[in-house]
Structure 1
Amino acid sequence: MNTQVTTKLKINKPANEVFEAFTDPSKIGNFWFTSSSERWEQGKTVTLRYDEYNAEGAIDVLEVEDNKKIVFSWGGYDQETVVTITLTEADTSTIIEVNESGLKEDDPEVVAKMMGQKEGWVYTLTCLKGYMENGVNTLRASLIH
């Protein structure tokens, strides 16, 4: 079974602006986590915080290609997955594709985990679209689990 989760969305902004929304710590709180400890750069470990859920976690930034690609791992030792965010500019818009891989096929909960990750990425990218296109920054952290 292919356990990779893929989500794509069109954002009506140029790729450099979408890239900065993820990598600039002053912007990520407008659509995703409450805060990011520092700029996302290759080789760095960045702490992401959700004040609303009293939670934080670390990501390891594995690869960054300015305005095109961000690759990071998260989830801890036994649950680690790799997320690849690819930005493809098309005229005045950007197609953002998120691929998350590494979910264990033999995990009895793998389907539920895949569905949860898919739901999370659709929600995150929807919040990003609202923020980037309309300045809406109140959608994030509204999912009820």
Structure 2
Amino acid sequence: MSAETYVEAQMLIRKPVADVFEAFINPEITTQFWFTKSTGKLEEGQTVTWEWEMYGVKSNVKVHEIISGQRIKTEWGDPAVMVDYEFKEMEKGTLVVIKSYGFAQSGEDLLRAINDNTGGFTTVLDGCKAYLEHGIKLNLIEDKFPQK
């Protein structure tokens, strides 16, 4: 696996950096557009557990670094990858860039992981934008793979 292999998704969210950053570290907000449960707020050096109850899935999230209003560096997934969330103040709001890297897979498995990460983080950003800008809870994560 090449060290250069990474996935990046981005979205302009028309809200101040402080509001958008808080949405990613505070599970009271994040659960409105991403996972359904968390064992706590993201804090540097801590590990929290995120849960998607509708899928019966949990993931331990190690928080490596938090620079308030700028960056969150985490490690999570199975197999674990690095996931960075970057926040940049723009004239019309906040640009959020989510980058995941450090994939252990190769070949078809790597392509599947890249596809899943790209689609998943794009969906997260879409849901975050709708919730923060318009107060709309789209249920995108829940409805992405509806149970029969």
Q: TM-score, normalised by structure 1?
A: 0.92
Matching residue's letter, 1:46 = V
Range with bigger deviation, 1-10 or 115-124 = 1-10
Decide whether the 8 Å contact of 1:28 with 1:35 is kept in 2.
Answer: no
Q: TM-score, normalised by structure 2?
A: 0.90
Decide whether the 8 Å contact of 2:130 with 2:138 is kept in 1.
Answer: no
Shift of 1:33: 0.4
Shift of 1:24: 1.0
Paired with 1:25 and 1:80, the residues of 2 have a C-alpha distance of 21
SS at match of 2:104: coil
Paired with 2:23 and 2:95, the residues of 1 have a C-alpha distance of 14
Shift of 1:104: 2.9
Matching residue's letter, 1:31 = F
The corresponding residue for 1:130 is 130
Paired with 1:81 and 1:107, the residues of 2 have a C-alpha distance of 17
Residue 53 (structure 2) pairs with residue 51 (structure 1): yes
Paired with 2:105 and 2:51, the residues of 1 have a C-alpha distance of 29
The corresponding residue for 1:91 is 91
The corresponding residue for 2:143 is 142
- Long gaps (5+) in structure 1: none
The corresponding residue for 2:120 is 120
Matching residue's letter, 1:13 = K
The corresponding residue for 2:71 is 69
Shift of 1:89: 0.5
Matching residue's letter, 1:48 = W
Shift of 1:109: 1.1
Distance change (3 Å), C-alpha of 1:55 and 1:66? same
C-alpha offsets along residues 53-105 of structure 1, whole Å, 9 cap, x if unaligned? Answer: 122111000000111110100124xx110001000011340000011001136
SS at match of 1:121: helix
Paired with 1:104 and 1:60, the residues of 2 have a C-alpha distance of 17
Aligned length: 143
Shift of 1:107: 4.5
More helix by share: 2
Runs of 4+ in 1 over 2 A off after TM superposition: 104-108
Paired with 1:10 and 1:108, the residues of 2 have a C-alpha distance of 31
The corresponding residue for 1:4 is 6
Paired with 1:32 and 1:106, the residues of 2 have a C-alpha distance of 28
Matching residue's letter, 2:128 = L
Matching residue's letter, 2:124 = T
Paired with 1:84 and 1:35, the residues of 2 have a C-alpha distance of 20
